[in-house]
């Protein structure tokens, strides 16, 4: 058992524990901070699995941008009465059944693949090679992703505007 | 030599089911969106593991697009949650008022 294998299991344990803590926290700020820890663990895992560029992106985008967006929203809203943390048992039970069922089914499907039990050799894709590959093979998809982000920008602006009364529209339409 | 692919897929499945539980069981729109983020992240882990297993960079390219979709989804989702919060003063997905027109009755 090499040092990389031990490192993988330590990181996997960190990710699972941090995520489990995040989904059961009542305080949303604590949940987001635990999830940031989990994403840092995922970034380390990506580096271990030979994707250093994705490890950097994971920290910058997931842990940096997305989680900070969540923190901004949590700071913006002030909940007067916190709703109950989980749904009542009648709705909680199906949720547990569905997620446990997914776990069982996916584990059985993964376990049936005999080729997947052989340890993989370590390899690394350099950021240069990855960038060249991405822009030579998937340039159209990159452009579509940029359009998607533009749509998100415009959509967030439209949704986030203060909604005025109906008279505002009427005033604008009047000459 | 590091771990077999199946261990990475099992980790990814465990993360996915945690995210699914968070989305289905939490009574809070923000935490439900957080659960969706966990599920997308689990998918990214599976793709990177598969990319190492087959020594192809396709899997890593997909993760870039997963990141773009996650960023889009969280932007629009949080803006929509803010609209709902302004309207109902609540982020409970079980809300009554937000699903009905203003002044309407059940």
Residues A4 and A74 in one domain: yes
Q: Are B18 and A19 in contact (CB under 8 A)?
A: yes
Say if A40 falls within a structural domain.
Answer: yes
Residue A64 shares a structural domain with residue A131 = no
Kindly state the tokens that stand for A75: 């700071």
Contact A51 B48 (CB under 8 A): yes
The CATH code of the domain that includes A65 is 1.20.120.1200
B72 contacts chain A (CB < 8 A) = yes
The DSSP element (H or E) to which A144 belongs, if any, is: helix A139-160
Q: How far apart are CA A169 and CA A166, in angstroms?
A: 6
Kindly state whether residues A141 and A74 are assigned to the same domain. Answer: no
Residue A62 lies inside a defined structural domain of this protein:
yes
Q: Does B43 touch chain A (CB under 8 A)?
A: no
Residue pLDDT, tens place only, A135-166: 999 999 999 999 999 999 999 999 888 766 55
Looking at the DSSP bridge assignments, the partners of residue A119 are B4
Instruction: Give chain A's domain count.
Output: 2
Q: Report the residue from A2, A54, A99 with minimal CB separation from B1.
A: A2
Q: How far is A172 from chain B (nearest CA, A)?
A: 23
Query: What pLDDT was estimated at residue B46?
Result: 94
Q: What is the pLDDT of residue A16?
A: 95
Instruction: Determine whether the interchain pair B91/A83 forms a contact, defined as Cβ–Cβ distance below 8 Å.
Output: yes
Q: A103–B17: do the CB atoms touch at under 8 Å? A: yes
Q: Do A70 and A131 belong to one domain? A: no
In a domain, A143, yes or no: yes
CA distance A24 to A43: 22
Whether A86 is covered by a domain: the verdict is no
Cβ of B52 within 8 Å of Cβ of A4? The answer is no
Alpha-carbon span A41 to A36, nearest angstrom: 9
pLDDT (tens digit per residue) in B10-55:
999 999 999 999 999 888 889 999 999 999 999 999 999 999 988 8
- pTM over the 0.90 mark: no
Q: Which domain holds residue A136?
A: 126-162
Domain boundary residue among A20, A45, A80? A80
Provide the pLDDT confidence category of residue B105 given band limits of 50, 70 and 90.
very low
pLDDT at B101: 53
A16: in domain: yes
Measured CA to CA, the distance from residue A44 to residue A49 in angstroms comes to 9
Let me know if residue A118 belongs to a domain.
no
User: Per the domain annotation, does A91 fall within a domain?
Assistant: no
Cα→Cα distances B78→A40, A66, B62, Å: 22, 10, 24
pLDDT: which is higher, A35 or B88: A35
Gap between the terminal Cα atoms of chain B: 62
Nearest-Cα distance to chain B for A66, in Å, is: 7
Question: What is the mean pLDDT of each successive set of 10 residues along chain A, which is 175 residues long?
Answer: 87 95 89 94 92 93 91 83 71 90 91 81 85 92 94 91 60 49
Q: What is the CATH number of domain B28-91?
A: 1.10.287.3510
Task: Report the half-sphere exposure of B19 (CA within 13 A, side-chain side).
Answer: 20
Q: How many CA atoms lie within 13 A of A125 on its CB side?
A: 26
Whole-number pLDDT of residue B95? 64
Burial of A171 (0-12, 13-18, 19+ CB in 10 A): exposed
Window B:48-67, CB contacts with A under 8 Å:
48-49, 51-53, 55, 57, 60-61, 63-65, 67
Residues of A in contact with B83 (CB under 8 A): 159-160, 163
Q: Would you call B11 and A15 a contact, using CB atoms and an 8 Å cutoff?
A: yes
Angle of CA points A149, A150, A155, to nearest 5°: 95
Chain B interface disruption, residue of A33, A106, A135, most B CBs within 10 A:
A106
How far is Cα A164 from Cα A21, in angstroms, rounded to an integer? 41
Identify which of A73, A86, A134 has the shortest CB distance to residue B61: A134
Predicted local distance difference test score (pLDDT) of residue A115: 79
3-state secondary structure of B26: strand
**Other beta carbons less than 10 A from residue A74's beta carbon:** 18
- Which of B2, B15, B39, B24 is closest to B93 using CA atoms? B24
On whether residue A172 sits in a domain, the answer given is no
């Amino acid at each position: 058992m090499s040092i990389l294998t031990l490192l993988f299991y330590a990181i996997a344990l960190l990710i699972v524990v941090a995520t489990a803590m995040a989904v059961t926290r009542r305080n949303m700020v604590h949940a987001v901070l635990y999830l940031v820890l989990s994403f840092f663990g995922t970034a380390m895992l990506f580096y271990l699995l030979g994707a250093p560029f994705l490890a950097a992106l994971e920290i910058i985008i997931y842990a940096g941008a997305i989680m900070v967006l969540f923190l901004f929203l949590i700071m913006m809203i002030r909940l007067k009465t916190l709703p109950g943390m989980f749904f009542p048992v009648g709705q909680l039970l199906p949720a547990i059944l569905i997620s446990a069922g997914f776990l069982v089914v996916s584990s059985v499907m993964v376990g049936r693949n005999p080729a997947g039990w052989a340890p993989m050799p370590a390899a690394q894709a350099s950021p240069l090679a990855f960038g060249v590959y991405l822009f030579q093979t998937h340039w159209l998809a990159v452009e579509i992703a940029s359009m998607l982000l533009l749509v998100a920008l415009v959509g967030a602006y439209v949704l986030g505007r203060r909604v005025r009364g109906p008279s505002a529209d009427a005033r604008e339409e009047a000459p | 030599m590091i771990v077999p692919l199946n261990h990475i897929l099992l980790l990814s499945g465990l993360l996915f089911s945690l995210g699914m539980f968070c989305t289905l069981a939490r009574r809070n729109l923000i935490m439900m969106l957080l659960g969706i983020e966990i599920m997308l992240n689990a998918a990214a882990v599976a793709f990177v593991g598969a990319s190492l297993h087959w020594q192809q960079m396709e899997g890593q390219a997909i993760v870039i697009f997963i990141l773009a979709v996650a960023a889009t989804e969280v932007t629009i989702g949080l803006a929509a949650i803010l609209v709902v919060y302004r309207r109902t003063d609540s982020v409970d997905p079980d809300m009554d008022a937000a699903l009905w027109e203003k002044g309407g009755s059940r």
